[in-house]
Amino acid sequence: MPTVKIIGPYRFHFYSGDRDEKPHIHVHRDDYEAKFWLKPVRLHANLGFPSSELAKLKKLATQHQDEFIQKWHAYFDGH
């Protein structure tokens, strides 16, 4: 699972098996995970994050949206 970026306690990544889905990013912290679609940025799934933290994660995903999409295509289009 390629790590795209680490910001504070959050690890942004995608799974190698995500190829057949539209661009998205997973976020991990401790035992929590969330998944955000990237076009447009919106929450798809949440496993444990409180809603106040999800708002922060969405903001981070939005701020880094272009980078995440570029890295998505670089990884999946290159394999």
- The reported pLDDT for the residue numbered 77 is 87
Q: pLDDT of 38-74, one tens digit each?
A: 999 999 999 999 999 999 999 999 999 999 999 999 9
Q: State how far the alpha carbon of 17 is from the alpha carbons of 9, 14, 29, 54, in Å.
A: 24, 8, 21, 24
Asked whether the beta carbons of 38 and 65 are under 8 A apart, the reply is yes
- The reported pLDDT for the residue numbered 36 is 98
| Residue extents of the structural domains in the chain | 3-76
pTM higher than 0.85 for the full model? yes
